[in-house]
A and B are shown apart, each in its own frame.
Chain A
Amino acid sequence: MPARTSLSPVTTGWLMLSPALCVYLLFAVYPMFDVLVMSFSSWNGLTADSAFAGWDNYRWVTTQDPVFWTALWNTIAWTLLALIVPNLLAFALALSLNQRLPGVAPLQVIFYLPVIIASIAVATIWKWMYDPFFGLLNATLTGAGLSGWILDWLGDRQVALWSVFAAHVWQSVGFAMVLFLAGLQSVSPTLIEAARIDGAGRWGVFRHVTLHALRPSIVVVVALSLINSLKAFDIVYGMTGGGPAQSTQMLAMWAYSQAMQLGNFGRGAAISVILLGITLVIVIPYLRWMLKTEEPAR
């Protein structure tokens, strides 16, 4: 009887990866490829056949679509703010809650709770709070004698997008807070003590020890913020639907609108591909840079 031959570690690894890889290829890679192909076609989503359209969809979207550039600038502005505002707030919260104080645990739960509320429910809550006639916000301002501050929060195009952004900050800050908190709690007390012995003050300890130890958390938070904000959809959809007059439209939502509401699947796919390209151009270099700067540290 021939001796049993065992599989090589590489082969074993691939075999173990294959089920997850199959699922990923089927539900992530294949749809991406399908959308890419669809972006070069003209299809209304109802008929069985589509027609080849070449670069027409991309040309129309970038030169004749009255909404595309508004959606693009809104997406970029939203992304930049989403990288800074909620994450700074989350970091400050994490620093504050990384203390041995009574009530810290319930506070962590309270700040995290909005994360688990569905985005569409958050949109509904805030939409009613922003109601110009009966909403909590304007009623509070009136009661405080600040009726001059009252705005049409979701109907004034100067403030509508930022009103929605405020709701997004409320919902998302808890998630980054938890990641930062986990990072802070993994900072070695030995390193902190050693830094203090070497004469480092509070700022020195924070800058050279804490912040340095938080690099993996920061990489994850920034990458996730980038990806999530570039595809922002549900909260904007729920609060303004892209209005007033498409002034709060976002690329992901406009891609959806083109395909699912207007039946222009080719144009919707073209917008999705453009969004994917922007995402890859931003996220991949960022991750490569962070990994490079981490290597010498190891």
Chain B
Amino acid sequence: MTDIRKVGLTALTMFGSLGGYAAAQEITIWSLTSGSQEVTAAWDRIVADFQAANPGITVTLERRSTDEHKAALRVASQSDQGPDIYFMWAGLGLGGEFVNSGLSLPLDGYYTQYGWDDRLVGTAEGFTRSYPPNRHGVPYTFRGEAVYYNKAMFEQVGITELPDTYDELKAAAQKLADAGIPAFTFGGTVNWHIMRLMDVILETECGAEKRDALMGMQLDWSTEPCATEAFVEFHGWTTNYFLKPFMGIDQAQAFNLFIADRAAMMLEGDWLVNQLDEAGRAGDMGVFPFPTGTGRLYGFGENFYISTQSDAPDAAAAFLDYFVSDAVQQSVSGLFGSISINSNVTYTDVRPLDQAWMDIFAEYSETFVNGDQAFPLDVTTEYFRVINEVASDVLPPEQAGAALQAFIASRN
């Protein structure tokens, strides 16, 4: 072999090795633990199949509980130990904080490159436009929250029609109470669980526009009458219609009580369908939207965001493209949510509760988000404290609005 050919071959080998080394990429995804084993298994399958289809990319999936996930992201934000892709709720107080701090990579280029808008359901992709001018995040799910009810208990007390108005819901709760059945079960230790009832009552008492203004801190909680009315109504529910005690248990314990037929209703999201299915109780429960009267569904979006600190944004985008693909979304249909974020998914052998959710999603074109996603984090914490004090009979509901407003005012 001539010298020049030897050199060329050596160079090719060297650069080939370097290129091979550069092609091997690692991406880390941080997400939440799930109460459903099926969901956990599905995620493991998605990761394994992606790696098999993309031998140059290694995917590590790390899962944490809700609060630990938020804390871990905050710690990692100042280091290079953070994830390439992270799960986050789309609301201002959560995902928005990371977007506004420059930790979410704008994905406009990838949306164009992969044509994601051609596949995504409108409601889902709408949550990626929350922080203009750029697109942030790729939809994981979009969630609805509604009232699950125990069919047998409803039948027992003679509730034959599902409540269509707030007054009808209260009447149903009273019927249950008269029969010695607590209407609702909630877990008070996790703050955001009992907050849901306050959120829907606030929507009911104030209407959509005022509720948004209150959550945006543009209206005064201490002087707005509907806010006080909402706290009074909320206190009425916790006093008269809750399974007690509730302040010392969490949402998992509340769920156990629900499937143990200790209460008639739970205010939960579409994710509960899987848990009810795994508990063998899906056939015994129904679901209906909380009748706020505003035409908006209580719900929120959950996205996957690519971190601006990622060393492999292209690989991360490739994984997200795989995740939202028709094949993957069809394979997990009904697992991550009753409706897929992919509009090309077809639904067969739909479980009754999933069908109920599809009907609910079809009925509503607008949503209002949970309080802990609408408020900034510190106001959310105070919102939790005030709600819990009202529920614990420590703070009179008539003073709750003023207490919250005092905190909001102290931030300025």
Identify the A interface with B (CB < 8 A): 44-47, 60, 64, 66-67, 130-134, 152-157, 160, 240-241, 243-246, 257, 260-264
- In the assembled complex, which residues on chain B have CB atoms less than 8 Å from the CB atom of A64? 407, 410
The answer on a CB contact under 8 Å between A244 and B188 is: yes
Q: Knowing A155-B248, A260-B74, A261-B70, say if A46 contacts B103 (CB, 8 Å).
A: yes
Of A133, A154, A160, which is within 8 A of B257 by CB? A133
12 contacts between A and B (CB under 8 A): A132-B248, A152-B247, A152-B248, A154-B247, A155-B248, A155-B392, A240-B248, A243-B189, A244-B388, A245-B247, A245-B388, A245-B394
Q: Is the CB of B247 within 8 A of A244?
A: yes
Asked if B71 is an interface residue, CB under 8 A from chain A, the answer is yes
- A263–B97 contact, CB under 8 A? yes
A134 to B257, CA, bound (A): 9
Q: How far apart sit A203 and B201, CA to CA, in the bound complex (Å)? A: 67
- When distances are taken between beta carbons in the complex, the residues of chain A under 8 Å from B249 are 131-133, 154-155
With known contacts A47-B101, A244-B189, A244-B388, A261–B248 Cβ distance under 8 A: no
**Residues from chain B with Cβ under 8 Å of A260 in the complex:** 71, 74-75
Q: Which residues of B contact A155 (CB under 8 A)?
A: 188-189, 245-249, 392
- Which stretch, B127-135, B327-335, B375-383, touches the partner chain A? B375-383
Residues of B within 8 A of A67 (CB): 385
In the complex, what distance in Å separates the CA atom of A133 from the CA atom of B182?
14
In the bound assembly, the distance between CA atoms of A154 and B246 in angstroms comes to 10
B209 at the interface (CB under 8 A from A): no
Q: Which residue of A lies closest to B245 (CB)?
A: A152
CA distance A66 to B408 in the complex (A): 12
Q: Is the CB of B101 within 8 A of A153?
A: no
Nearest 7 pairs of A and B residues by beta carbon: A155-B248, A155-B247, A152-B245, A46-B101, A245-B388, A154-B248, A244-B247
A257 to B191 CA separation, bound complex (whole angstroms): 14
Query: Of the candidates A45, A47, A60, A244, which one forms a contact with B392 in the assembled complex, judged by CB atoms under 8 Å apart?
Result: A244
B101–A44 CB distance below 8 A: yes
Hey, which chain A residues are within 8 Å of B74, CB to CB?
A: 45-46, 260, 263
Q: How far is the CA of A241 from the CA of B246 in the complex (A)?
A: 15
The answer on a CB contact under 8 Å between A46 and B77 is yes
Whether the pair A245, B389 counts as a contact (CB closer than 8 A) is yes
Binary flags per residue of B119-138, CB closer than 8 Å to A gives 1, else 0: 00000000000000000000
Q: What sequence of 0s and 1s flags, for each residue 228-268 of chain B, a beta carbon within 8 Å of any chain A beta carbon?
A: 00000000000000001111110001001100001000000
**Is B161's beta carbon under 8 Å from chain A?**
no
Query: Contacts A133-B262, A257-B381 hold; do A154 and B189 have CB atoms under 8 A apart?
Result: yes
Given contacts A46-B102, A130-B248, A260-B71, 16 further A-B contacts (CB under 8 A): A44-B97, A46-B78, A46-B101, A154-B189, A155-B188, A157-B392, A240-B248, A244-B189, A244-B247, A245-B392, A246-B388, A257-B381, A260-B75, A261-B377, A263-B377, A263-B378
Q: Most chain-A CB neighbours within 10 Å: which of B75, B245, B391?
A: B245
- Within 8 Å CB of A47, what residues of B? 101-102
- Grouping DSSP codes into helix (H, G, I), strand (E, B) and loop, the A interface class, with mixed when no group exceeds half, is loop
When C-beta atoms are compared, the residue in chain A nearest to B379 turns out to be A262
Task: List B contacts of A241 (CB < 8 A).
Answer: 189-191
Max count, chain A CB within 10 A of own CB: residue among B77, B102, B189: B189
- Size of the B side of the interface (Cβ < 8 Å), in residues, is 39
Chain B contacts of A262 at CB under 8 A? 377-378, 381
Q: Which residues 341-390 of B have a CB within 8 angstroms of A? A: 377-378, 381-382, 385, 388-389
User: Which residues of chain B have C-beta atoms less than 8 A from A132's C-beta?
Assistant: 245, 248-249
Residues of A within 8 A of B403 (CB): 66
Of the candidates B74, B75, B262, B378, the one having the most CB atoms from chain A within 10 angstroms of its own CB is B74
B116 in the interface (beta carbon within 8 A): no
For residue B80, which residues in chain A have a CB less than 8 angstroms away from its CB?
none
A-chain residues with CB within 8 Å of residue B71 when the two chains form the complex: 260-261
- In the assembled complex, the CB of B184 is this many whole angstroms from the nearest CB of chain A, namely 15
B77 with A243: CB separation less than 8 A: no
- Whether a CB of chain A sits under 8 angstroms from the CB of B3 is no
**B322 sits at the interface (CB 8 A):** no
Contact in complex: A60, B410 (CB < 8 Å):
yes
Q: How far is the CB of A190 from chain B (nearest CB, A)?
A: 55
Q: Which residues of B contact A46 (CB under 8 A)?
A: 74, 77-78, 97-98, 101-103
Q: Across the two chains, which residue of chain A brings its CB closest to B246?
A: A155
Whether B67 is near chain A, meaning CB under 8 Å from some CB there, is yes
Q: Report the bound CA distance from A170 to B382 in whole Å.
A: 33
Q: How far is the CB of B379 from chain A (nearest CB, A)?
A: 9
Are B378 and A264 in contact, with the CB atoms below 8 A? yes
| Bitwise interface map of B from 45 to 73 toward A, beta carbon under 8 Å scored 1, else 0 | 00000000000000000000001001100
State whether A157 touches B394 (Cβ < 8 A). Answer: yes
Complex Cα gap A47–B98 (Å): 9
Residue ID in chain A nearest B253 by CB atoms = A131
Q: Tell me the bound Cα distance from A67 to B407 in angstroms.
A: 11
Q: Which residues of A contact B191 (CB under 8 A)?
A: 241, 243
- With most chain B CB atoms within 10 A of its CB, the pick from A134, A244, A262 is A244
- State the Cβ distance, A119 to closest chain B Cβ, in Å: 15
User: How long is the Cα–Cα vector from A240 to B191 in the complex, in angstroms?
Assistant: 11
Residues on the A chain within 8 Å of B256, using CB: 134
Choose from B78, B188, B244, B378 the contact partner of A243 (Cβ within 8 Å). B188
Cα separation A67 to B190 with both chains bound (whole Å): 17
Residues in B neighbouring A156, C-beta threshold 8 A = 245, 247-248
Chain B residue contacts of A257, Cβ below 8 A: 381
A64 and B249 CA atoms in complex are apart in Å by: 29
Q: Are B245 and A45 in contact (CB under 8 A)?
A: no
B243: shortest Cβ distance to chain A, in Å?
Answer: 9
**Distance between Cα atoms of A47 and B308 in the complex (Å):** 12
- Return B266 CB to nearest CB of chain A, in Å: 15
Query: CA of A207 to CA of B378 in the docked complex: distance in angstroms?
Result: 54
Minimum C-beta distance from B363 to chain A (A): 35
Contacts of B253 in A (CB 8 A): 131, 133
Assess the B378–A66 pair: CB atoms within 8 A: no
* The residue from B67, B188, B257 contacting A261, defined by CB atoms under 8 A apart: B67
